[in-house]
Structure 1
Amino acid sequence: MIKRHFVASAPPPPKGVKYHHASEADGWLHVTGQLPSDPSAPASPFVEGIEAQTEQTFRNLITIIEAAGYRLGDTVFARIYLSNFERDYDGLNRAFCRFFTDDAQVPSRTTVGVAKLGRDALVEIDLVLHRAR
């Protein structure tokens, strides 16, 4: 059985776009890619800089994860997209390490450079989590 999670306190999908924030099945939670949107003003401009955008993106992810009954430490895999890989990779890593402080709990990940992200974001992140039942 698949359980879909729409989290009212997380940034909503753009107008005309349909998706749930996360889908859960058999202890696995797949969280939709998040941008650095401010949930209280989702159409407002993003904060500036890769570290600030990464931190806001993680706050959005944590809102969704916790609403689904998981915790960030349950993350198995992170997929990260950067619109300027060369410039922003180090800053992304600094912010990422602030959220995953325990080396034993750092998830596997892929980080890729892309030509463009929605709303000209510098970063987008999606996660896969697992929790034993």
Structure 2
Amino acid sequence: MIAGGPRPVAPFSHAVEADGWVMLTGQMPTDPQAPDAALPEGIAAQTARVMENLKLILKGLGLDLGHVVQCRCYLTEFERDYAEFNAAYQEYFPEDRRPARTTVGVTALAVGALVEIDCLARRPQ
């Protein structure tokens, strides 16, 4: 668990590390400073909050988004939100260093979120 990280919505760790690989649990668009506050409005704002939560966890591990090699993204309104999600998401990775990614439409997410993202990072050898 990362001090100051988002409050988990289920029984899990923020991240688990094995042999230099770091698996980050899917993050929700909740505010770590106000976990009971309403979620941000819209997919762009929720994507930004999720990405900031991932950055917070990575920072607590001495890593950053440059160490991310793969992301899995889940959208509850795939057709409606996919383009706007991509526009928000791509702001966090340089065009020449984007991680592998899978994006899946799902029927629902915890806390009524529109988006959840988990990722796999690699610690430098």
TM bracket, shorter-chain basis? over 0.9
Matched with 1:112 is 104
Residues 49-99 of structure 1: CA deviation (Å, up to 9, x unaligned): 100000000000000001011110111100000000000001110111110
| Aligned partner letter, 2:7 | P
What is the SS of the residue equivalent to 1:30?
strand
What displacement does 1:43 show?
1.4
Runs of 4+ in 1 over 6 A off after TM superposition: none
Matched with 1:68 is 61
| Aligned partner letter, 1:115 | T
Return 5+ residue gaps in structure 2 as ranges: none
- Aligned positions of 1:93-108 closer than 5 A: 93-100=86-93, 102-108=94-100
TM-score for both structures, normalised by structure 1: 0.91
Q: How many residues of Structure 1 are paired with residues of Structure 2 in the alignment?
A: 125
| Aligned partner letter, 1:95 | A
Matched with 1:3 is none
| Aligned partner letter, 1:125 | I
Percent of pairs identical after alignment? 46
| Structure 1 residue corresponding to 2:3, chosen from 8, 11, 24 | 8
| Aligned partner letter, 1:63 | L
Matched with 1:30 is 23
1:59 aligns with 2:56: no
What displacement does 1:47 show?
0.5
